[in-house]
Amino acid sequence: MMETWLFQHYISANLLILVQSLLIVTSVIVISKILRIQQQQSKQLFQMRNEIKAINSGNIGIGRKMNLFGKEMAKVEVDKITQLQPGSQEKTYHQASILLKRGASIDEVVDSCDVAPAEAELLAIMSHARDVSEKNKSKTSSDHSIVRTREDFSIAS
């Protein structure tokens, strides 16, 4: 009996040591995997921080360029507005051209737009020439379409 008890005690002690050894080995393996994962995550975090810094510095550069672009656009708008203010020669000619297209006489254009009679006559000639050339272009394009349809019709029959 005593031998059986010693044998059982010996086996249970060895079994306990074996289980403890397996638990220690498993714990070491799990801890090493956790450490590897933690190192990978810290590397990824470092890379992401660097990428965020790069993106932020790029955004700052883009912001500066957009700010400069906005200032340039504002300057261009101011320049354009100052060029087209009443009394500006370009706007005066534009107004005279519009009046001539609406059928105003040379004298009416001279009085209302403050241009010389010769300039008003020149604008009238240029406006008339532009209208004639536009009519010829539309007439020519419609003539071509008629010719094409006639050719198509004659081929079909």
Chain centre distance of CA 155: 51
Q: Regarding predicted confidence, which is higher, 88 or 38?
A: 38
* Nearest C-alpha neighbor of 116 from the set 93, 98, 138: 93
Does this model's pTM top 0.75? My answer is: no
Average pLDDT across the chain, whole number: 80
Q: Regarding predicted confidence, which is higher, 41 or 89?
A: 41
Give the C-alpha separation, 157 to 155, whole Å: 6
Residue 46: predicted pLDDT? 97
Question: How does residue 87 score in pLDDT terms, banded at 50, 70 and 90?
Answer: low
Q: What is the per-residue pLDDT across 15-70, written as a single tens digit (0 to 9) for each?
A: 999 999 999 999 999 999 999 999 999 999 999 999 999 998 888 889 889 989 98
Query: Collapsing DSSP states into helix, strand and coil, what is residue 84?
Result: coil
Q: What is the per-residue pLDDT across 123-151, written as a single tens digit (0 to 9) for each?
A: 888 887 777 777 777 666 555 544 444 44
Six-digit token pair at 118? 């010769």
Q: Where are the domains of the chain?
A: 38-83, 89-140
Amino acid at 62: I
Six-digit token pair at 40? 């990978």
Residue 154: predicted pLDDT? 47
Q: What is the per-residue pLDDT across 90-101, written as a single tens digit (0 to 9) for each?
A: 667 888 888 888
